[in-house]
Amino acid sequence: MPQKSAWEKEYQQSILVTGDDRPQNFLVQFLKYLKKEKKLPMEDLAVLDLGCGTGRNSNYLAQRGNTVCGLDIAENALQTATARAKKLGLEVEYRKQSIGRPLLFGEAHFDLILDITTSNSLKSSEREVYLKEVSRVLKPGGFFILRALCKDGDQNAQNLLKSSPGGELDTYYLKDLKLTERVFSEKDLKDLYGRYFVFDKLAKDVGYPQMKGVTYKRKYWLAILRKK
């Protein structure tokens, strides 16, 4: 599994991931929005964190009285997430699984699902499975928080698409990481996710990831989705 090996290596070398144990700021803001505007309680929720990494978001939600399950393909990331949860006195279920395969949960199981820049590494066939499965396990009235790589107005994305194209639409290959990533135009994002979900909120965000000591300006889509 090339992706698995790539992410195991990434969590050892930390080229892209920060290793931070604090929740991501935009997620905290989205959760406040859901509580205030959508009256979604922030406790006693069943939460699924797709691509949970070292557990920064999973553990944060568990600290607030929610039942959380985090999935990832990198064993070393899951070990760190589990150790951090134990240190905080939390019971978080961490499982090793690709999100491009059927999820081992019953239908309408979760109130809240997170995909924080995880599905961008999926192949198109895996992405189709992922979308169907997220829709299947999300409860009616539940919410799906998505952060995806943005193509529109992102010069670094445009450069990568030209210099190192991947084998599928709007993909590029990161040679140092041995990973292929997908970026989305607004139209493609809405067309793809709109088959299964309704967009409650869609915004752009800017981030500054580092690679080999060089900082790059990247744009992201931030979305809150509801099951159709």
Question: Do residues 67 and 47 make contact, with C-beta atoms less than 8 angstroms apart?
Answer: yes
* CATH number of this structure's domain 2-151+183-227: 3.40.50.150
Structural domain spans, the chain:
2-151+183-227
Give the relative orientation of helices 2-13 and 75-87 as an angle to the nearest 10 degrees: 50
Taking residues 12-19, report their average pLDDT. Answer: 49
Q: Using the predicted structure, report yes or no on whether residue 11 has a pLDDT greater than 80.
A: no
Alpha-carbon gap, residue 67 to 78, rounded angstroms: 17
| Rg of the chain over all Cα atoms, to the nearest angstrom | 17
With tokens 């557990």, the residue in question is 55
- Which helix (H) or strand (E) element contains residue 70? strand 67-72
Res 213: pLDDT: 72
For the four alpha carbons of 38, 42, 43 and 47, in that order, the dihedral sign comes to positive
Q: Using the predicted structure, report yes or no on whether residue 18 has a pLDDT greater than 80.
A: no
Res 19: pLDDT: 60
> pLDDT tens, 36-47?
999 999 999 999
> pLDDT tens, 179-210?
999 999 999 999 999 999 999 999 999 998 87
Mean pLDDT, the chain, whole residue set: 91
Question: Do residues 66 and 46 make contact, with C-beta atoms less than 8 angstroms apart?
Answer: yes
SS3 178: coil
Burial class (CB in 10 A: 0-12, 13-18, 19+), 97: middle
- For residues 16 and 118, which has the higher predicted lDDT (pLDDT)? 118
Question: Do residues 70 and 92 make contact, with C-beta atoms less than 8 angstroms apart?
Answer: yes
Q: Where are the alpha helices (DSSP H) in the chain?
A: 2-13, 25-37, 56-63, 75-87, 124-137, 155-163, 186-193
Q: How many CB atoms lie within 10 A of CB 164?
A: 13
Alpha-carbon gap, residue 98 to 140, rounded angstroms: 24
Give the N- to C-terminal CA distance of the chain in Å, as an integer: 33
Which residues are paired to 180 by β-bridges? 173
User: How would residue 214 be classed by pLDDT, with cut points 50, 70 and 90?
Assistant: confident
